[in-house]
Amino acid sequence: MSEIAPVTTDDGFPDSPASPPAAGAGGRARGSWPLFVAFALVAGVVAAVIAAGFLAESLALLGIPDPGPLTTAGLPLVRGAAVVSTCVAIGSFLLSSFLVSPRVDVGVFEDSRLFHRHARGDARRLREGKEVLDEDSAHGGPADTLDAAGIAWKYRPGQDPLVQALKGARLGVDGSIAARTGAWACLVTAVLALLLVPMYLSDVSGETLGTAIKPENWSVALGQVSTSVAFVAVAIIGVITGVGALLSTRWIMQPVWLVGAFFLFVPLGLEGHSATGGDHDYGTNSYLWHLLFVGLWIGGLIALIAHGRRKGEGMETAVRRYSILAFASAVGMAISGLINAAIRLSFSDWLTTGYGRLIAIKAVAVIALAGFGLYHRKITIPQLETNPVLFRRIAAVEVALMAATVGVAVALSRTPPPPPRIPDINTMDIQLGYKLFVAPTWTNVWTMWRFDIMFGTLAILLTWAYIWGVLRVKAQGFDWPWWRTAWFIGGNIMLLVTMCSGIGLYMPALFSMHMVGHMILSMGVPVFWVLGGPITLWREAIQPAADGEPGPRAWLGVLIDNPVMRFVTHPAVNTIQFLVAFYGLYLDSIYSFAVSEHAGHLGMNFMFLISGSIYFWELIGVDPAPRRTDPKIKLMWLTFSLPIHMFFGVTLMMLQTVLAYDFYSTLGLPWNPDLLQDQLVGGGVAWASGQFPLLIVYIVIVNQWWTDDKRQMKSYDRRADATDDADMAAYNEMLAAMNQGINPEADYYDSDVRNSPRNNPRDS
């Protein structure tokens, strides 16, 4: 019998056998690379034209000669194109991850809904005081009785048929094309980023590009030009993400590449106007949020246009999902942009300075783009099924305006902002972004407040998402334990207060306060979070996916139950990652680098939160982890870690050299603290604070052990009643035989040898 060849599309990818024909398949599918190039050129040309208008002013302020047109016109052109290609990468991976479906058998969706109904039914019976049995544990005998923890484990996300299918699912035709587009866009961004390295050296030195691009000058660029260093980081991220995406065909890797594409923006968010001078903590954090929303809004729309031009399947679902992201991104981009502009502009500067006028133009463009979004919601989306061409045409004009707005933004990065009205900037402003006037005390750390745009916003968003989940669950007729809500919101309040109070203000300036914040972020907030069970709540709040459309409920399941999380939550690995994240940071060279940069502070704080959340989730979390660890094993590893925490604190207290001395000594704090004594206090905080939370966790795990033993005893009693205690009778029979001098093990072995085929050739 000859093999049947798979059906393929014009792109050469096998079509999904479970998928219906694409809507509008009778039309001609078209490629989108010419559009991508056009959008990149629009952004680059607009940036170059505007930058040329401010060239003389910029050169005069910097006091450098004109480096020539290849730099003055080429740099904004290339940077604008790089921003657009990054947006293409983000949007393409967004499409392959969450806007179109991978290849999943349709029957899995009904199995997943049935799984969800069974889970809710068992949970309801338990709340009503009825007995819930685990039929899978019967093995010929009576089934075990399930408690709340047993039900949570039986119906853990990893057992959901749709989650299991997604973990091994391959991309469909549309997802494969989008992923390949995102990969090549990352590689294009990497090439453009490398081209910008000598361009920025030429820009700041006044040398021509022909001189700056010589190999011997690259070391100068990387040693003296921070923007060149940032673009080298962009190139490295682009190559890793692009090559990785080209080599992978499974859906589970697409969110990873999406995160990698977002990281293309991060180095750029940590340099430039926003990262320098006073209030640069506000400038950097707001700019990072701004870039996140830019990537989602522009990139997502570009990906949808490409998806529509190739007659991709599921356009209605993709547009519906994107429209929610687009609205949130538009609001977030506007707010973050206003915050960023307010740092450097007074009200009168908006129309009286070149920088202010560019900000005003960008604001008008964002308002116009919001109008396009409203038009889509009212006109084009309702007609999407009958008139898809209208959506694509309007969206193409919208993206062209977006690209022009990107060009304005790139020109802003090359336009000098107006000088501050009161040039009162000292070392603290440059290093921290703000001034500190008095030493911290037990009282003033609670009276000093400065909202942290990164972590304060994160705390607010998580609280909103959790309350939304609680309300959705209650609207469906189910209860959610109030104490879990209290735990999770308490953790967010702890995060908000820590980062926005005097603790957060003094964390970058004093080692002792850094250690206070470290302990709260790694051992306080995560404990509250994992006891709130947010993943369980959100999975209950979100309805199971419709046929052919895996949704947020399944995505959350894959997030916490996948091969990587299964490896990380192994007790040994989990303990090691927590200890390394906890203490490896304080090797002098690593800590000195991290504490001296705003990026280092952000990275440390995120690492503390993530590492602590994974660690305590595996130990005491409400959300079921991918593997079920015996409480005795947990206690063993926790006992192993306790003396290490103590040793670290004592070691810090005994050090006679100051960690990151070059940074702390140059801050110029008015009260002139004793840095070695401050480090001694920090070591004491690490010693005392590190022990107390772990002792509480120790008690919780002992209680888990006791509860687990009770459950096992109850199961044993049920089995004994059902079998007339057959296990005990067999045990007593064995003891009686041993009392008579018979060795049961030898008898078993002898009978096994006598009955073997070698000793019974007739039976062989």
**Separation between Cα atoms, residue 551 and residue 542, nearest integer Å:** 9
- Supply the pLDDT for residue 9: 37
- For residue 11, pLDDT over 50 is answered with no
- For residue 143, pLDDT over 70 is answered with no
Q: How many CB atoms lie within 10 A of CB 74?
A: 20
Give 46-100 pLDDT, tens digit per residue.
888 888 877 766 666 666 777 888 888 899 899 999 999 999 999 999 999 999 9
Residue 750: pLDDT band (50, 70, 90) is: low
- Supply the pLDDT for residue 283: 82
Question: What is the reported pTM?
Answer: 0.85
CA distances from 69 to 47, 354, 406 (A): 14, 21, 21
- Supply the pLDDT for residue 452: 92
**Separation between Cα atoms, residue 551 and residue 329, nearest integer Å:** 20
**Separation between Cα atoms, residue 395 and residue 372, nearest integer Å:** 8
**Separation between Cα atoms, residue 173 and residue 9, nearest integer Å:** 8
> Which of 176 and 276 is assigned the larger pLDDT?
176
- For residue 753, pLDDT over 50 is answered with no
Going by C-beta distance under 8 Å and a sequence separation of 6 or more, which residues neighbour residue 551?
542, 543, 544, 545
The segment with the largest mean pLDDT, out of 210-219, 337-346, 488-497, 741-750, is 488-497
- For residue 22, pLDDT over 90 is answered with no
The helix/strand count (H/E) of the chain reads as: 36, 2
Please give, one letter per residue, the 3-state secondary structure of 70-104: HHHCHHHHHHHHHHHHHHHHHHHHHHHHHHCCCCC
Best CA proximity match to 683, nearest among 527, 519, 521: 519
The segment with the largest mean pLDDT, out of 165-169, 251-255, 366-370, 408-412, is 251-255
CA distances from 152 to 155, 239, 440, 518, 545 (A): 5, 41, 45, 32, 20
CB 296 within 8 A of CB 327: no
**Separation between Cα atoms, residue 293 and residue 207, nearest integer Å:** 36
**Separation between Cα atoms, residue 196 and residue 84, nearest integer Å:** 15
Q: What is the amino acid identity at position 672?
A: N
Terminal C-alpha separation, the chain: 40
Instruction: Work out the angle at residue 685's Cα, subtended by the Cα atoms of residues 682 and 688, and round it to the nearest 5 degrees.
Output: 150
The pair of three-digit structure tokens given for residue 386, joined into one six-digit string: 């009958």
The pair of three-digit structure tokens given for residue 305, joined into one six-digit string: 């246009």
Instruction: Work out the angle at residue 242's Cα, subtended by the Cα atoms of residues 240 and 247, and round it to the nearest 5 degrees.
Output: 95
**Separation between Cα atoms, residue 421 and residue 423, nearest integer Å:** 6
Partners of 144 in beta bridges: 134
Residue-range domain boundaries for the chain: 33-103+169-419, 107-166, 444-543+552-717, 728-763
- For residue 6, pLDDT over 50 is answered with no
Backbone angles phi, psi at 144, to 5 degrees: -75, 155
CA distances from 209 to 66, 71, 340 (A): 11, 6, 32
- For residue 19, pLDDT over 90 is answered with no
Sign, CA torsion 138/143/145/148: positive
**Separation between Cα atoms, residue 32 and residue 39, nearest integer Å:** 11
- Arithmetic mean of pLDDT, 486-513: 94
**Separation between Cα atoms, residue 148 and residue 169, nearest integer Å:** 31
- For residue 656, pLDDT over 80 is answered with yes
Give 171-190 pLDDT, tens digit per residue.
999 999 999 999 999 999 99
Q: Percent of the chain scored above 90 by pLDDT?
A: 29
